[in-house]
Structure 1
Amino acid sequence: MNNYVIIDGRFKSIGEELKKYGFNVILTKKNMKVYDAISFHPDIQLFVDEEEKKIFVDKQFYEYYAKRIKGYEIIEGEAVEGGYPNSAKYNAVKFEKKVVHNFKYTEKNILKHIEKKKYKKIDVKQGYTNCNIINLKDKLITEDNGIYKNLKNRGEKILKLNKVEVDLIGMNYGFIGGATGFFENKLFFTGEIKKNPYYIKIKEFVGNNVEMVSLNLGRLQDVGTIIFMRGN
C-alpha cells in the first residue's frame, strides 16, 4: 500500500521522520502569491476527501500533485492569492459525513462536492478552520472558542484547549491543528508534545488506542497540517 503524506516544504526533517513510517512524502512548493508564513502550507493549497478519493487543488499546483499522487481524482480548483479570507479557500475540515468551514470562503468546487454528496455543513466564523482543529475523525480538538461552542452544541466529541504554545514562521504564534496530523491510530506532532503543558489533557482525551508521536525536537511548529492520504 502506497500511503502519502504532504508536508510544508520547509520542514524536510519532519518529512524524513515520516519516511521511517513508510509514507511516500510530498514536500509542498511555495505559493508566491500569499504571505510568507503560510506560503508552503498544505491546507492552503488543497483539500482531501479521502473517503471519495478526491483531492481539490489550487490550479497553480495541479500538475505538481497530479504527477505525484496516484489513486485519487485530482480536481483543479481556484487559485489562492493574497491574504485572508481568500487564503482560506481550501482550509475546511471533513470528518465522518460532515464538513466544518466558513462557507462564505470555501473554494467553489469543494462547495459543489459537499452539496452533491449531501455532507452536513457546519458553518463557523473561522475561515482557517483546518488550522484550528485536530481532526481525529470521531473526535476533535480546538483552541477556537467559536468552533468549540458550535460543535459542542451539536453533540460532537470536542476538547477545548486554551492558547497552546505553537510557533509559526514569521508570525507571533500558530495554531494547534496546523502542528499535527492524524493517520490510523497515530497522532503526529511537529514538536515534543510531552513537553507541552497540554500533553496530559490531550492524551486523556484521545485515549489509549491513539499513539502520540513527536516528529521533531523543541516547540510545536504550525506547518499547515500534516495531510495524510491512504493509498491503494
Structure 2
Amino acid sequence: MKQWIEKSNLPLHEVTTCAIGAQYIEIIKALTSLGIQVIPIKPDIRLPEPLQGHGDMQICYLGQGKMLLLPGREELREALTGLGFLTEDSDPPGKYYPQDVKLNAVFLGKKCICNSKIIDKKITNHCREQGIEIVEVSQGYSKCNLCVVDERSGITSDKGIERVLSKLGLDILLISEGHIQLPGYPWGFIGGCSGLLGKNTIAFTGSLNSHPDAEKIKSFIHRRRMNIIELTNGPLLDIGSILPLEEKVERTT
C-alpha cells in the first residue's frame, strides 16, 4: 500500500514514486531497479535550455497531496492526478532569471526557504494559510541549492542559505562551490543532484567521491544513521532534484 508523502521532501517510509527529468535515462533506470516508479518530466521550452527538463523548475510539492506545476503541462498533470495529487497551475515561467524560478522553493518541515519576491505567490499564500514559516534568502534557486537531509539538516554551497538557516538553529553543512556537472552552466548544485528515498536513505545522481568535500558530506549523513545510495558511478550531475512523491505504508486492520 502506498500514499503521498505528507511533508514535502521528507518521506517517513520507503519511497515508491518519485519525479525527475525524462531525459535522465540512466538515473531513471537506477531508480526503477530499486523498485521505484518514476514520473518522467518532459522538457519545457519556456525555461532556459539547460534547465528545461529539471523537475524542481516545473513542479513544487506543497505537501499533503497538493502540487503546484507550470501551466500547460497536461501530460504531467494527468500523471500526478492519477496518483491522487491535487494540482494547481502557477503563473507562466519566463526564459530568463528570475522569471524561471517561480517554483524553486524548498520545504524543510514547517519552513519554506525561498526568495519570496520572485517565487509564485501561490507558494507564499499556502505557507501563510498552513502556518509554515517563510525563510527569506536572496538565492532564487533555493531548491537547487539545498540538499535536504532531514527536518533539521541540510547541505548547501550557498553561504547565504547556510548563514540564515544556521541562525535558526538548523544543522547546515557548507560545502565548496562547483564540482557538480550541469551542462550549459559552469556548475550545478547539491540539491539538484540528490533526494531522499526514505527517512534513512538519501540518493545522489553520481559518486560523491567526484566532489572534494566527499568525506565531509558522507560523515554529515552517516552521523544521522542514514544510508547513501549513489545511482551511477559517474560524477555528480544536477538533474533538477530527485523529487519523492509517494511512500510505502503498512496496511492497518
TM tier, smaller: over 0.9
Gap runs ≥5 in structure 1: none
CA contact 1:4–1:26 (8 Å) conserved in 2? yes
1:225 aligns with 2:225: no
Q: How many residues align?
A: 230
Runs of 4+ aligned structure 1 residues displaced above 6 Å come to none
State which drifts further: 169-178 or 64-73: 64-73
Residue type matched to 2:113 in 1? Answer: V
Deviation digits for residues 12-46 of structure 1 (CA, Å, limit 9, x no counterpart): 11001101222111111111112111010001001
Residue type matched to 2:58 in 1? Answer: Q
* 1:59 equivalent in structure 2: 71
* 2:218 equivalent in structure 1: 203
1:126 aligns with 2:139: yes
Counterpart mapping for 1:168-207 below 5 A: 168-184=182-198, 185-207=200-222
CA contact 2:180–2:237 (8 Å) conserved in 1? yes
Q: Distance in 2 between matches of 1:60 and 1:172?
A: 30
Gap runs ≥5 in structure 2: 3-15, 249-253
State which drifts further: 99-108 or 161-170: 161-170
In the TM superposition, residue 195 of structure 1 has moved relative to its aligned partner by 4.1
Counterpart mapping for 1:30-109 below 5 A: 30-50=43-63, 52-61=64-73, 63-69=74-80, 70-109=83-122
Residue type matched to 1:191 in 2? Answer: G
State which drifts further: 70-79 or 123-132: 70-79
* 1:213 equivalent in structure 2: 229
SS of residue in 2 equivalent to 1:220? coil
Q: Identity rate of aligned residues, in percent? A: 28
CA contact 2:210–2:236 (8 Å) conserved in 1? no
SS of residue in 1 equivalent to 2:135? strand
Deviation digits for residues 40-85 of structure 1 (CA, Å, limit 9, x no counterpart): 00010010123x1111011121x22232121221112212121111
Q: Distance in 2 between matches of 1:33 and 1:143?
A: 27
Residue type matched to 1:223 in 2? Answer: I
SS of residue in 1 equivalent to 2:72? helix
In the TM superposition, residue 106 of structure 1 has moved relative to its aligned partner by 1.4
TM (norm. structure 2) is: 0.86
* 2:11 equivalent in structure 1: none
CA contact 2:180–2:211 (8 Å) conserved in 1? no
Task: Specify which structure has the bigger relative contact order, considering alpha-carbon pairs within 8 angstroms and separated by 6 or more residues.
Answer: 2
State which drifts further: 199-208 or 118-127: 199-208
CA contact 1:33–1:81 (8 Å) conserved in 2? yes
Q: RMSD between aligned alpha carbons?
A: 1.5
1:10 aligns with 2:23: yes
CA contact 1:55–1:73 (8 Å) conserved in 2? yes
Q: Distance in 1 between matches of 2:150 and 2:117?
A: 24
